[in-house]
Structure formats: structure tokens, C-alpha cells
């Protein structure tokens, strides 16, 4: 599965690794993006960074063909 991990409002962007399944999920947002890169760019404005959240994981959950 492809994905990205975004830290500090996009100052650091890496390919996985993702948190272990036992890690706590603090919430999630679903966005519509044309690519993983577009979703990564959108994530740099994630509200969690306003509250000292440290990372955001970007993963494709479903491909939508419009």
C-alpha cells in the first residue's frame, strides 16, 4: 500500500512506515484528491497541526473513477 507520513505542516514528508495497528488513531479525514501527491499537499493544512499533532498519515482507502 502506498502512502506518506507528513510531519510539522509538511516540513518533513516521508514514505511510510506507518504506525502499528496497536497505535491510537486520534481521528481521520477523508479528502478527494487526484493523486497521492495532491492528497499530501492537502494534508499540510490539516487542523491537527493547530493542536500540536505531530504526524498525519496519508493512505488511499478507495479509488473513485469519475
What is the domain extent for residue 47? 3-59
66 domain residue, yes or no? no
Q: What is the pLDDT of residues 11-29, one digit of tens each?
A: 788 887 666 655 666 778 8
Number of domains in the chain: 1
40 domain residue, yes or no? yes
Q: What is the pLDDT of residues 22-55, one digit of tens each?
A: 566 677 888 889 888 999 999 998 888 888 777 8
Q: How far apart are the C-alpha atoms of 58 and 66, rounded to whole Å?
A: 21
Q: How far apart are the C-alpha atoms of 5 and 46, rounded to whole Å?
A: 12
64 domain residue, yes or no? no
49 domain residue, yes or no? yes
65 domain residue, yes or no? no
Amino acid at each position: 500500500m502506498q502512502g506518506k507520513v507528513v510531519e510539522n505542516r509538511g516540513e518533513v514528508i516521508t514514505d511510510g512506515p506507518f504506525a502499528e495497528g496497536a497505535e491510537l488513531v486520534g481521528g481521520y479525514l477523508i479528502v478527494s484528491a487526484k493523486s497521492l501527491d495532491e492528497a499530501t499537499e492537502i494534508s499540510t493544512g490539516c487542523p491537527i497541526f493547530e493542536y500540536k499533532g505531530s504526524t498525519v498519515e496519508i493512505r488511499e482507502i478507495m479509488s473513485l473513477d469519475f
